[in-house]
Amino acid sequence: MKRFTFISLLLFSLAYQVAVASTLQVSPEGASLSIKEISPFSYVCIPHKGPFTDMEKVIGTLMSLMQSQNISPTGPMIGVYYNSPDEVGPEELIWEVGFPVAPQVSPQKPLEKKDWNYKVVLAGIHVGPYEDTGKMIANMMDWMKDKGYTAAGPVMERYLDMDPSKVKKEELKTEIWIPVEHK
């Protein structure tokens, strides 16, 4: 098995993100939401409880551990959010960051392997700073209510830009998925 270095892992992830981002049609916030069927997939992550200001540190740990365990991503970086700042204080936020991986991957702690088994999601593309995705999520929740859907799982964000440090904040692209059920 080919040994991936930290740099090759990062480059693979970024190249994949470019390919995915180039196939998506990006619309102004709230202008294009759709119900999508998603194939289940496995992902490796680091679960975290605490403020979003810990994100950079958690991502650094994730990347380092994936490199040291020779785990290769099969898709763009993701964030999974189990509650929101509208519901709880910063220290009570529960979230994780990770990457999709091949089903046979067996990570060691503190990495965890999980499966995304939600097959139907409301999907939308947020264009703008990551810290503003909450506005898009609120729009999506309103859309669901108006159309007779309810949330059936945590919010997932898929970070689509190859190198966010080289993209203007107002041009960052994040695909947001909310698992749904029809009432």
> Using one digit for the tens of pLDDT, what is the confidence trace for 94-110?
999 999 999 999 999 99
Residue 123 has pLDDT above 90, yes or no: yes
Average pLDDT, the chain: 86
In degrees, rounded to 5, the angle at the alpha carbon of residue 133 between the alpha carbons of residues 178 and 32 is: 60
What is the pTM assigned to this prediction?
0.82
Q: For 68, list phi and psi in degrees, rounded to 5.
A: -65, -25
pLDDT at 19 exceeding the cut of 90: no
Tell me the per-residue pLDDT of 138-158, one tens digit each, with 9 for 90 and over.
999 999 999 999 999 999 999
Q: How many angstroms separate the CA atoms of 115 and 98, rounded?
A: 12
What structural domains does the chain harbor?
A: 6-182 (3.20.80.10)
Residue 6 has a pLDDT of 41
Residue with tokens 């098995």: 1
What string of H, E and C letters represents the secondary structure of the chain? Answer: CCCCCHHHHHHHHHHHHHHHHHHCCCCCCCCCEEEEECCCEEEEEEEEECCHHHHHHHHHHHHHHHHHCCCCCCCCCEEEECCCCCCCCHHHCEEEEEEEECCCCCCCCCCEEEEECCCEEEEEEEECCHHHHHHHHHHHHHHHHHHCEEECCCEEEEECCCCHHHCCHHHCEEEEEEEEEEC
